[in-house]
């Protein structure tokens, strides 16, 4: 017996769409193993997971709320990856956006609420985008590897935030690394009563549509794809490759920054050291699971959110630790990568 791996004929489109769905089902099935190891009752675990995430109106809306930052970071990574700008730094860009939003929110100018909110968003977007242009500049000017720089700048931004929270942005009289609360005028409005469903969730959905539009319909989207598949040919065709990479970084970082904005002005209202439980890193997995397509990103962000929110009630009811959520997320990435491999290659056992 030996294993033969051979290239497969391109699969029809509907199978391509089914792949992520299948990957999610397989992930859930495989998750039975760690759940059993942790001593959970399988049926109770899964029902409490889904009930906890989707069972009641409040829980469902809470899942939507959690999906918003994941959608932003997922879009940020997906858009950058399409242009082969390997942005692993959504986490740091998110923090940059959160810091800028907190700053504007704490010192909110006396303007109409709509203008203040616009200011908060623009500040967060630009801060995230600007942070991402540093590795883009290093990449275009000095050919420094973007995976390394985007990743390492996450830690730099985390420490900058630490400096601010123990210094200029620390709440007066507090010894904790915590900023003062953002002014009420700078907070995202709650759109549905008796929930935390805020403006940011709608903004995330708008961002999905905007990124899809940019990808599919605009000159910039075309040029970003061209640069993504073949830089030399793109340059040959007259596309300014460096400019495309810079603009891609700005948009990608800006989207990640928006994730930070929502966490500050709609969820926590303070800037905190643990403002992000790794949304930026989850964004990488979400982008892959969503096959770098904006709609796919939104769906996989929602799935992740189901797992994160649902794991809490599962944990309460079955005693399985909440960290199961991270195990499932990791498993989802691996299953998806394997599934992608299987869509392109056929593996056969041959009797020799």
Q: Kindly state whether residue 238 participates in binding another protein, applying the rule CB under 8 A.
A: yes
Give the one residue of 57, 113, 159, 217 binding another protein; rule: CB under 8 A. 217
Question: Does 352 interact with another protein (rule: CB under 8 A)?
Answer: yes
Non-local CB neighbours of 68 within 8 Å, separated by 6+ positions: 200, 201, 203, 204, 259, 262
Residues 6+ away with beta carbon under 8 Å from 14? none
Total residues in contact with another protein, by rule CB under 8 A: 22
CA angle (209 as vertex; 260, 186 as ends), nearest 5: 35
And the tokens for 145? 């590897």
* Interface region with another protein, contact rule CB under 8 A, candidates 98-106, 127-135, 215-223, 260-268: 215-223
Among the candidate windows 170-178, 216-224, 310-318, 322-330, which touches another protein by CB under 8 A?
216-224
Q: Strands 345-350, 2-7: parallel, antiparallel or unpaired by DSSP?
A: antiparallel
| 230 is an interface residue for another protein by CB under 8 A | yes
Judged by CB under 8 A, does residue 192 bind another protein? no
- Asked if 218 interacts with another protein (CB under 8 A), we say yes
Stretch that binds another protein, among 26-34, 37-45, 90-98, 234-242 (CB under 8 A): 234-242
CB atoms < 10 A from the CB of 249, how many?
31
User: Applying CB under 8 A, does 236 fall inside the site for another protein?
Assistant: yes
Query: Residue 16, interface with another protein (CB under 8 A)?
Result: no
Q: Is 144 in the site for another protein (CB under 8 A)?
A: no
Query: Does residue number 222 form part of the binding site for another protein (CB under 8 A)?
Result: yes
Measuring CA to CA, which residue among 173, 176, 203 is closest to residue 191? 203
Question: If binding is defined by CB under 8 A, does position 143 make contact with another protein?
Answer: no
Shortest distance, CB of residue 8 to another protein, whole angstroms?
10
Shortest distance, position 6 Cβ to another protein, whole Å: 8
DSSP 8-state code for residue 189: P
**In this chain, which of 80, 169, 203, 234 binds another protein, going by CB under 8 A?**
234
Stretch that binds another protein, among 214-222, 255-263, 275-283, 289-297 (CB under 8 A): 214-222
| Chosen residue from 6, 43, 114, 168 binding another protein by CB under 8 A | 6
**Nearer Cβ to another protein, position 78 or 199?**
78
39: left (phi > 0), else alpha (psi -120 to 50), else beta? left
Please say which residue, 227 or 272, places its beta carbon nearer to another protein.
Answer: 227
Q: What are the residues facing 4 on neighbouring strands?
A: 348
- Which helix (H) or strand (E) covers residue 6, if one does? strand 2-7
For 295-324, b/e burial (b = at least 16 CB within 10 A) is ebbbbbbbbbbbbbbbbbbbbebbebeeeb
Nearer to another protein, 163 or 213 (CB): 213
How near is the Cβ of 127 to another protein at its closest, in Å?
25
Is 225 among the residues that bind another protein (CB under 8 A)?
yes
H or E, element range at 106: helix 90-106
114 part of the interface to another protein, by CB under 8 A: no
Rule CB under 8 A: is residue 291 a binding residue for another protein? no
Distance CA 350, CA 13 (A): 29
User: Other CB atoms closer than 10 Å to residue 342's CB: what's the count?
Assistant: 15
Picking from 85, 133, 125, 147, the residue whose alpha carbon sits closest to that of residue 206 is 125
Q: Go through the chain and tell me how many residues it has.
A: 352
DSSP label of 277: S
- Positions in the binding site for another protein (CB under 8 A): 2, 4, 6, 9, 217-220, 222-223, 225-226, 229-230, 232-238, 352
């Amino acid at each position: 017996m030996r294993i033969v791996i051979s290239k497969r004929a391109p699969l029809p489109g509907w199978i391509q769409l089914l792949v992520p769905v299948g990957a999610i089902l397989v992930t859930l099935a495989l998750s039975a193993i760690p759940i059993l190891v942790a001593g959970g009752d399988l049926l109770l675990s899964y029902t409490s997971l889904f009930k906890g995430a989707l069972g009641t109106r409040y829980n469902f809306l809470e899942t939507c709320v959690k999906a918003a930052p994941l959608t932003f970071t997922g879009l940020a990574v997906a858009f950058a990856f399409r242009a082969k700008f390997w942005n692993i730094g959504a986490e740091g860009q998110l923090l940059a956006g959160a810091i800028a939003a907190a700053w504007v929110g704490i010192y909110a100018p006396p303007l109409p609420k709509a203008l203040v909110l616009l200011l908060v968003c623009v500040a967060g977007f630009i801060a995230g985008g600007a942070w991402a242009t540093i590795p883009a500049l290093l990449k275009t000017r000095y050919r420094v590897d973007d995976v390394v720089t985007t990743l390492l700048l996450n830690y730099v931004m985390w420490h900058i935030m630490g400096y601010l929270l123990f210094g200029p942005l620390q709440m007066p009289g507090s010894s904790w690394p915590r900023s003062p609360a953002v002014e009420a005028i700078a907070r995202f409005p709650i759109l549905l009563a008796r929930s935390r469903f805020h403006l940011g969730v709608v903004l995330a959905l708008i961002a999905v549509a905007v990124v899809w539009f940019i990808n599919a319909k605009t000159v910039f989207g075309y040029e970003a794809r061209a640069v993504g598949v073949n830089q030399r040919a793109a340059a040959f065709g007259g596309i300014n490759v460096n400019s495309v990479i810079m603009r891609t970084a700005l948009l990608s970082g800006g989207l990640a920054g928006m994730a930070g904005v929502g966490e500050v002005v709609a969820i926590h209202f303070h800037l905190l050291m643990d403002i992000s439980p790794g949304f930026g890193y989850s964004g990488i997995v979400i982008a892959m699971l969503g096959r770098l397509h904006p709609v796919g990103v939104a769906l996989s962000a929602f799935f992740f959110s189901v797992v994160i929110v649902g794991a809490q009630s599962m944990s309460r009811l079955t005693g399985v630790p909440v960290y199961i959520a991270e195990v499932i997320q990791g498993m989802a990435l691996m299953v998806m990568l394997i599934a992608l491999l299987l869509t392109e290659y056929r593996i056969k056992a041959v009797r020799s």
